[in-house]
Copies of this chain bind each other. A is one copy, B any other.
Amino acid sequence: MTGTVPTTARDAIRDLVDAHAAALSAGDAEAVAALYAPDARSFDLRPPLQYRSSREQRADDLRAWYGGFAGPALFEVRELTVEAFGDVAFAHGLARLTATPHGSPGPFSLWYRMTLGLRRVDGSWLITHEHKSTPFYMEMAADHSFKAAVDLEP
């Protein structure tokens, strides 16, 4: 196995990423949360800098987040790269979220970067770390703030 990536592990992780996007798009909070290790560390699009959630807390947070939208939130992932060896893997790609906040005349679409760290436990891959983000524009605004780059496309 030296120096080579077992095809089955890579395929399993691509399937997990597909299942993750499908569960998020279906609004199935339990199915999303079941893909995470119980003590997974998240670097999310929104503050705080980091958090660790139980599966129950993660599902509750997702349900609250879905509540802000009229209709489904759609997720897709592109340009996915997976590296795996034995029971450890990481994956990175570009993701797009399309959703319509309550009271908004139409949907927004946001491209962001997604990195996942994974571990195989009892034969099943679980997300132990996730990092989602947009970059930000380095030009300082008049109020000394910096704008998140939410308008980028691949």
Measured CB to CB, the residues of A under 8 A from B are 1-3, 41, 43-50, 79, 81, 83-90, 92, 94, 111-113, 115, 117, 119, 128-129, 131, 133-138, 145-150, 152-154
Contacts and interface: CB of A to CB of B under 8 A. Distances in A.
B148 A136 contact: yes
B46 A137 contact: yes
Contacts of A152: 47-49
A85 B88 contact: yes
Contacts of A46: 135-138
Contacts of A115: 43, 115, 117, 129, 131
A84 to B, nearest CB: 6
Nearest to A84: B88
Nearest to A112: B49
B49 A129 contact: no
A49 B121 CA distance: 32
Contacts of A47: 135, 137, 149, 152
A26 B108 CA distance: 42
A154 B44 CA distance: 14
Contact of A49 (B83, B84, B86, B111): B111
Contacts of A81: 41, 129
A30 B88 CA distance: 30
